[in-house]
Structure 1
Amino acid sequence: MKTDLRVLKTKDALHESLLSLLKERALESISITEICKAAKINRGTFYQHYGKVEDLFEEYFKEIMKDLAESYQAPYKYVERIETTKLNPATIRIFHHIEKFKKFYFIVFSKNVPLAYYYLLFDEIHVLMKEDFIAHQKIDKDVAVDMLSAYQSNAILGMVIEWYRQDFNKSAAEMNEQLVAILNLRLGG
């Protein structure tokens, strides 16, 4: 079923309004009236699509996480198992995803927003990593997959946070190169 272009434009306007307001305040303090005013739509239109502000946030977050999952899986289009020494940085799409949704990530990593946003993102990446390790990687039996995926998730998020702290001044391609270099780094050996 094809979605009406007017509906897409309305939802995009609502998403943009929500992002704009999230820069200033926490989700729970944002009203439907404020969102509608910023999006230049009436409340009735909002209620045609959502019941409450949290529903709008959840839809937008799921859209971003769907794109994140697709971006994370991109290197597997070419190989079953990734060997970091043979990994082509051009196949990595996660940093391109961050660039695409930069406005959202500026909010998530801001010191002014609740830590809950970080944990929502961490949980999504943690699941992606865990599924990846189970499906594609050989794991030593002494290593707990949950711990490994948590470690790797925080490593990726650490890179993204540092990129954010540098105002995203590197390109996604440069970040891809940096990730591959880090993955191939052998410490203490």
Structure 2
Amino acid sequence: MDQRVAKTKKVLTEGLFKLLENKTIEQITVTELCRIAHIDRRTFYIHYSNVSDIFEDYQEDLSLEVYQALSASKYGAEGLLNVFHEILMKNYRAFKYLCLNQQQHLLVEKLQEMLFETLCDSLLSKKDDEHNKVILKYLSSGLIDTYVYWFSHSDEIEYDNLIKTNKKIVQANLKLLS
């Protein structure tokens, strides 16, 4: 991708998430997004037709980033979990919005499925082992749900405790694998 295009998309995405802190995506206008991103409307319309297109583009990029990072990690379940933590923290505001916005449940499901597929690829030698797949499905869905829960209860749970608890959950579930 051309560096100018990448920069434009980056500033629009950053501006979008800054505005999402106080408004819903439906309330954000192209004009105010362009103002906060310091680009003109014509540039916006070269890349997108509306504000929600930026969010959809971001979702696709984030999904690809998570999938590539998890697929590239050959460190076992704990390494996969560490990679996931790193991506989460790098994209904190976006993940928080996605997890707290009920309309974004499809991305949460997509993240759960990516984690599940990667765990299966990394940990299972037989692709048709249904017992182990059930365990890994439970594990991947549960891990993502812990983040959703944490975002809505972050004043009650420290992030470090979330990580420690998730590592224990991963270890306990891995012991169940046959």
Q: 1:75 to 1:62 in 2, by over 3 A?
A: same
Instruction: Please list every run of 5 or more consecutive structure 2 residues that lacks an aligned counterpart in the other structure.
Output: none
Q: Cα distance, 1:99 vs. partner?
A: 0.3
Q: Cα distance, 1:141 vs. partner?
A: 5.2
Which residue type is aligned with residue 57 of structure 2?
E
Aligned residues: 171
1:3 paired residue number: 2
Q: Residues of 2 paired with 1:152 and 1:48: CA distance?
A: 42
- Larger RCO, structures 1/2 (Cα 8 Å, 6+ apart): 1
1:74 and 1:93 in contact (8 A); partners too = no
* More helix per residue: 2
Which residue type is aligned with residue 154 of structure 2?
Q
1:75 and 1:92 in contact (8 A); partners too = no
Q: Residues of 2 paired with 1:123 and 1:141: CA distance?
A: 22
Q: Cα distance, 1:10 vs. partner?
A: 2.0
Question: Is 1:129 the equivalent of 2:116?
Answer: yes
2:159 paired residue number: 170
Question: Is 1:119 the equivalent of 2:106?
Answer: yes
Instruction: Please list every run of 5 or more consecutive structure 1 residues that lacks an aligned counterpart in the other structure.
Output: none
- Aligned with 1:122: secondary structure? helix
Q: Residues of 1 paired with 2:97 and 2:10: CA distance?
A: 17
TM-score (norm 1): 0.71
1:108 and 1:118 in contact (8 A); partners too = yes
Q: 1:149 to 1:130 in 2, by over 3 A?
A: farther
Q: Cα distance, 1:60 vs. partner?
A: 1.3
Which residue type is aligned with residue 28 of structure 1?
E
Q: 1:169 to 1:71 in 2, by over 3 A?
A: farther
Q: Cα distance, 1:143 vs. partner?
A: 4.3
Which residue type is aligned with residue 96 of structure 2?
F
1:74 and 1:92 in contact (8 A); partners too = no
Q: Residues of 1 paired with 2:58 and 2:109: CA distance?
A: 16
- Aligned with 1:48: secondary structure? helix
Q: Cα distance, 1:17 vs. partner?
A: 1.3
Q: Residues of 2 paired with 1:117 and 1:35: CA distance?
A: 21
Q: 1:154 to 1:56 in 2, by over 3 A?
A: same
1:71 and 1:92 in contact (8 A); partners too = no
Q: Please, what is the CA RMSD of the aligned residues?
A: 3.3
1:19 and 1:104 in contact (8 A); partners too = yes
